[in-house]
Amino acid sequence: MLWFKRDLRVEDHRPLAEAAVRTLDGDPLLCLYVYEPSLFRDGPLDAAHHAFIDTSLRELDEALRARGGRLHFRVGEMPEVLERLHAERAITCLWSHRETGDGQTYARDLRVLDWCRARRIPWRERSQNGVIRRLRSRDGWAQRWALQMRKPVVAAPGRIVGVDGIDPQVPRAPHEVGATRTERVEIQRGGMQAGRETLDGFLHRRGAGYRKDMSSPLYGWGSCSRLSPHLAWGTLSLRQVFQDSERRLRRVRDRKRRGRLDDPRWPEALSSFRSRLSWHCHFMQKLEDEPRIEFENVNRAYDGLREEAFDEARFAAWAKGETGYPLVDACMRSLRRTGWLNFRMRAMLVSFSSYQLWLHWRRPALHLARLFLDYEAGIHFSQVQMQSGTTGINTLRIYSPIKQVRDQDPEGHFIRHWVPELRGVPLEHLAEPHRMPGLEQRMAGCVIGRDYPAPIVEHGPAYRRAKERMGAIRRRPDVRAEAQRVAQKHGSRRRPRRRPR
């Protein structure tokens, strides 16, 4: 049996390729996808994620049918689903990719492991990225990651011998799996073909402005790769993306040497993109090595920093996009509609909740996890903690939502699109509409407190107070000592550190 999880493809799928070889020796293969209601009911998934998954599953089923197999669908919790299938047809081996998931899927995998051991069924898990299980040290990790990315892409099997006599069932609608309704109706399309088209479009047409435009919420929409949902759900493998970008970069550099490069921005853009691919697994490795960081501060010396009474009113305003700070609100409203936002604006949302609003990172992290179509637990919780300042090893970044308007949306196009209440506000007041005189507010059709919220906090004092508090705690000896432990365990280092003699 092959269990598909976040690996909805046939190319560069080692468990599928290995299991398919066994089918040619007379051991038929049941390809299984399980809709787990608990992941929709208690976890971060909703109908938007279901839509992306559904398109991917239907395309995956077609690809398996073309090779002689098919996808079997079930609704239920693991390993109970396996037990029912085992009663119909004895499972002799379970194949899957290894997953670095959140606490919920981690506990699920432990239950599956216990079930397999109790029945003496081998579970053959294979890695699909550069994350290393039971890693002893970060020394040399980058080199090991690069070696993994440069291994040959595993070809899709030419033929699969499928299982007969078991009802394959059909894909399920959102309400059948417990998926709640969603505001995100402008999401990216799932599937292997869409993933390939997105990658090709970025590498050959859209990506020339990547280096400059990726920080802009307006231009990043087209200039960023937009591959993150496909990597999160496995319609493309990271190895495929890495190797395609390497080939494209070599061709671009060759054309530059021969004076035939049509756009001089390409080499820098592709180099920048390639360097960020390793970040994907770098952050996932942190959760793999220390699963508690989904729930607790990476640097335990920060415990108690924001654990005082949680301000529900501030959190609600932030989550709805009604803080009174136009770029913060535009970003949140855009995310609630599309499920995607560029990296800098994601960082600004977390920074604003952590510093200006002084909210503990856990609740905002769970809210954003449900909004992100590309939610990847290892990346998500590591990044949220980095942006909220609780790692102790990263540069403290407190974003000014006013300065970011001038830097990233200087003409106000993004804000006016997603916060229509502000469309009549003059550009010089767009970053801080609450500072408009009353007459100008009425002339702009935007009276603060009536048509658009007044700021829930005053940025200047909140910024200074947060900076002072973070500076004071970072100077403490216990915080510095814990930061050294964190750096040793999770810090990025491209070559082995020299050991003291």
206-216 tens-digit pLDDT: 999 999 999 99
Cα Rg of the chain, angstroms: 24
How far apart, in Å, are the Cα atoms of 257 and each of 245, 252, 463? 18, 9, 48
Superfamily name and number for 2-128 = HUPs (3.40.50.620)
Contact present, 69 and 162 (Cβ < 8 Å): yes
pLDDT confidence of residue 497: 45
Cα dihedral: 131, 132, 134, 139 (round 10): -110
Q: Give CA–CA dist 400/410, Å, rounded.
A: 14
Whole-angstrom distance, CA of residue 248 vs CA of residue 172:
39
What's the confidence (pLDDT) of residue 38? 97
Q: Is 100 exposed, middle or buried (0-12, 13-18, 19+ CB in 10 A)?
A: buried
- Report CA torsion sign: 188, 191, 192, 197: negative
User: Under the phi-then-psi rule, with left for phi > 0, alpha for psi from -120 to 50, and beta for the rest, what region is 389?
Assistant: left
Cβ(59)–Cβ(71) below 8 Å: no
Taking CA 107 as the corner, what is the angle to CA 104 and CA 113, rounded to the nearest 5 degrees? 140
Pairing verdict, β 94-97 and 123-126: parallel
Q: Are 1 and 30 in contact (CB under 8 A)?
A: yes
Distance CA 399, CA 346 (A): 11
CA–CA distances in Å: residue 71 to residues 178, 379, 438: 21, 29, 63
Query: What CATH superfamily classification does 300-490 receive?
Result: DNA Cyclobutane Dipyrimidine Photolyase, subunit A, domain 3 (1.10.579.10)
Nearest to 371 by CA among 346, 344, 347: 346
pLDDT score, position 494: 61
In this structure, what token pair is assigned to residue 56?
A: 């991917």
Residues of the chain with pLDDT under 50: 496-501
For 97, counting Cβ atoms within 10 Å of its Cβ (0-12 exposed, 13-18 middle, 19+ buried), the class is: buried
Encode pLDDT of 185-242 as tens digits. Answer: 899 999 999 999 999 999 999 999 999 999 999 999 999 999 999 999 999 999 999 9
pLDDT of residue 500: 44
Tell me the domain boundaries of the chain.
2-128, 192-284, 300-490
Those residues whose C-beta lies under 8 Å from the C-beta of residue 118, and which sit 6 or more positions away, are none
Q: Which tokens go with 347?
A: 């960082």
pLDDT in tens, 37-67: 999 999 999 999 999 999 999 999 999 999 9
29 phi, psi to nearest 5 deg: -115, 130
Report d(CA 478, CA 224) in Å as an integer. Answer: 40
Strand arrangement, sheet containing 71-75: 71-75, 31-35, 2-4, 94-97, 123-126
Q: Which amino acid, one-letter code, is at 286?
A: K
